[in-house]
Structure 1
Amino acid sequence: MDMLTFMENRIDQMDFAGDLNINWDGDIRSFELEITMVGQTNDLEIENQEGGTADQEVTYDDALLIYDQQKVAGDKYADNYLKTIPFNGRQGIEQATLTGLFNYLETLLDDSMNDFLDFLDPEMSVATFQINWSQADYQQAVQEAKLAGAAGFFSYPKY
């Protein structure tokens, strides 16, 4: 199985109230995994990233970059993404890395959606919202995937 097929299958299986999309850039061999959450302002005055005020609906966007380290200097983009994850050219990415990532994402996105809804609740006193990546939890999920038998690589797609 290739990386793209695995990611599409896992996204289809996830029970996430937001939206997940994959943008594949074949020229630089990278995948952007876009995360979108939408909620109602509940008559709160919420400032967006551009300094404006949200009207009725608030959208929160973030993304992960999964990139070919032979084509892209992913560290240069780390500030623009929730997380950047390298892979090794056409060989692809270790199964444990991608499996662990999606196992961790299920928990992270569920918790983040709850935090987002708390942020939008006028009875809660949550001043800001962002998805909080835990490198330790991610690494633990990758290790658990290895212990569960995830071995080998998901290859880069051949389209």
Structure 2
Amino acid sequence: MGLDLAACAFEPWVADFVTASNRLSGIGRAATASEIAAHRGFFARRRVGAGNVVLLRAHLSGPDGRSAVEERPDASTLCGIDELLAADLSPWQLYAAFRDLAPFMHANGRCARALWMSRRLAEGALPQVERLPPEWAREPRSWRRAASALRARRN
């Protein structure tokens, strides 16, 4: 039996995940209620689309905890996000490809980490947030190759 995403998304680990993800982006404050709620909704989805990523991004605050400027990607960027999400990529490849696509001016890393966790949850992995993977500090070539291949396919 698979992981119950809706129940899993409302467990305490989500707040820790968002705070840790913020730290990786150089944001030292705790996660805001809006950020946590947005991640809970994001993780509870069985299938994530570009619109869900844009909505998550809209709820991510700036370093000071206040709402960041709303960004609305154009149609080709949304199409690129949907292509990434539809591709048969591992969580790490999806993370790297999204970071490489960088559809937003801010919060690409935090959105990529949310996509990574979302893909892991969809695969049935239990969340392990006590320590975010140290691999996020470096970018292996295999991630770059996956992102480059997707870009080449789009062009």
TM-score (structure 2 length as normaliser): 0.27
Q: Which has the higher helix share?
A: 2
Which protein is bigger by CA-based radius of gyration? 1
Q: Which has the higher strand share?
A: 1
